[in-house]
Amino acid sequence: MKKIVLSALAALTLGTVAANAGVTKLYQDENGQVFTKPAEGRTLIETPTSVFSKADKLKFSGLTYIGYKYNDYDKLGDDVTEKSSDSQFEIRRAYFQLKAYLLDDPKSYYRITFDVSKDVTGDEKVRAKYAYLYLNNILPATGVEIGLAHRPWHDYEEHNSWYYRSISKVLVETKRAGDLSNSADFGIMTKTRTKYFEADIGIFNGEGYHKYQRDNGMSFEWRTTAHLLGVSGKDKQESKTYFDASFYGQLNQEHLTVNGSSEDMNFYGLHTVYNQPNFLVAAQYLDSHVNKVGGIASSKAGKGWSVNTEFRMGEEKEYKLLARYDFWTPEANDGDKEYDKKSYIIGAAWKQNRNVEWVANATVKDYDKGILPLTDTTQGADSYNGVDYMLTAEVKF
């Protein structure tokens, strides 16, 4: 199935180029490879095959995180701390996206994004990350996404405050904190955009795009953001000065099983970011609540905070230094002491051009030891102290 989907996407991309051959000439070498520029050994394709679409315009894009990671860590055992390490090359994510503009409004469109990533078994899977219809201006300054859509918070932070999804998820999603929510889900979300204020408000299944819908509970989710300088910070941070303050959260009914009982998960966050062309600094606080059942606490309950910064240098701000600190305290079972999960990221980035950026970083995990039984499941697979050394190429077009 994966090969079929990827082959279809590649064929569709080439076919779309061919469909526009009236303005783009295509050339072919002796191996049958197609190019858009002439060169020795290439011949002009006189009659390229047309591709028909009922959309007025199709727009393709792609994004891939190619990486290498070396782990050096302490592995917890029965009253023993064992030194261990491993290394691997990896494709952390690979997105392929199509937007089809179907309506008279040029800002309304249908979008589908395919996502290649590893599942818990280590197998590469292709799934739909987004598949929604966006209708612009259904109300003044307000549009709506319907389908497998964005959730309110993640996309904002990744495009305004933390630009390194290729090396770490945001605080609300990372396993180094509570792993509370992922970035897409089935539902409907309104998007309001003005000069000084914006808001995303939605109702979703709640489990996220790669989990099944359990029970009958739904999730009400929101983000409200004040642009204190009247400037939206989305992308092009090297040329903007902006100052944002946000309040976000999620009220998710019957989302988790705690000691055999279905429980709600509610979390609330405050976030602020200040950016100018030379640097960025951001901070947030996050508090998550899940009822205990029989004295057992959920792994999703807890509170924490995060700060991150970025310094930019060079004529085009192509060189960057970055740092981030996360602090998370999971709620403890009755009779147990709380423990803290601390992590540090430090790194450097080079933006080679508009399509390729390189990032080298180290992520230090510093979790409290000896407080909870080693069989405690709230610590999960990341219940170790150590360092991840990473080299990443972010490729987009």
Sheet of strand 34-35: strand arrangement: 34-35, 27-28, 43-44
DSSP H helical segments within the chain, as ranges?
Answer: 2-19, 154-160
The distance from CA 64 to its chain's CA centroid, rounded to whole angstroms, is 12
Closest C-alpha to 332, from 364, 363, 297: 297
> Which pLDDT does position 47 carry in this prediction?
66
Q: Please work out, in degrees rounded to the nearest 5, the angle formed at the alpha carbon of residue 167 by the alpha carbons of 69 and 110.
A: 125
- Whole-prediction pTM value? 0.84
CA distance 77 to 375: 10
Taking the CA atoms of 54, 105, 24 and 28 in sequence, report the sign of the dihedral they define.
Answer: negative
Q: Please work out, in degrees rounded to the nearest 5, the angle formed at the alpha carbon of residue 397 by the alpha carbons of 273 and 88.
A: 80
Closest C-alpha to 296, from 329, 271, 263: 263
Residues 6+ apart with CB under 8 A from 293: 258, 259, 260, 261, 263
Closest C-alpha to 58, from 25, 15, 23, 24: 15
355 contacts 397 by C-beta, under 8 angstroms: yes
Closest C-alpha to 103, from 55, 52, 59: 55
CA distance 301 to 332: 9
CB 199: neighbour CB atoms within 10 A? 18
Between the alpha carbon of residue 306 and those of residues 99, 131, 282, 346, 360, the distances in Å are 34, 31, 8, 14, 21
Residues 6+ apart with CB under 8 A from 374: 76, 77, 78, 383
Question: How large is the C-alpha radius of gyration of the chain?
Answer: 23
Give the residue extent of every domain in the chain. 1-52, 53-396
- Full DSSP string of 315-377: TTS-EEEEEEEEEEEEPPPTTSPP--EEEEEEEEEEE-SSSEEEEEEEEEEEE--SSS-TT-T
CATH superfamily of 53-396: Porin (2.40.160.10)
Taking the CA atoms of 332, 362, 345 and 158 in sequence, report the sign of the dihedral they define.
Answer: negative
> Which pLDDT does position 66 carry in this prediction?
96
30 contacts 11 by C-beta, under 8 angstroms: no
CA distance 144 to 277: 32
> Which pLDDT does position 5 carry in this prediction?
44
> Which pLDDT does position 121 carry in this prediction?
74
Strand segments (E) across the chain: 27-28, 34-35, 43-44, 57-76, 81-101, 109-118, 124-139, 142-150, 184-193, 197-204, 219-227, 242-258, 261-276, 279-290, 302-313, 319-330, 341-351, 356-367, 385-396
Closest C-alpha to 275, from 319, 325, 232: 232
353 contacts 369 by C-beta, under 8 angstroms: no
134: left (phi over 0), alpha (psi -120 to 50) or beta: beta
Closest C-alpha to 267, from 280, 283, 259, 255: 255
Q: What does the pLDDT profile of the chain (397 residues) look like in tens digits?
A: 444 344 444 444 444 444 444 456 778 888 777 777 888 888 888 765 566 677 888 899 999 999 999 988 776 554 445 667 889 999 999 999 999 999 999 999 999 999 988 776 777 888 999 999 999 999 999 999 999 999 999 999 999 999 999 999 999 999 999 899 999 999 999 999 999 999 999 999 998 888 777 667 899 999 999 999 999 988 788 889 999 999 999 999 988 888 888 899 999 999 999 999 999 999 999 999 999 999 999 989 999 999 999 999 999 999 999 999 999 999 999 988 888 999 999 999 999 999 999 999 999 998 886 444 333 334 343 446 889 999 999 999 9
Q: What values do phi and psi take at 233, rounded to 5?
A: -90, 5
Q: Please work out, in degrees rounded to the nearest 5, the angle formed at the alpha carbon of residue 150 by the alpha carbons of 146 and 153.
A: 135
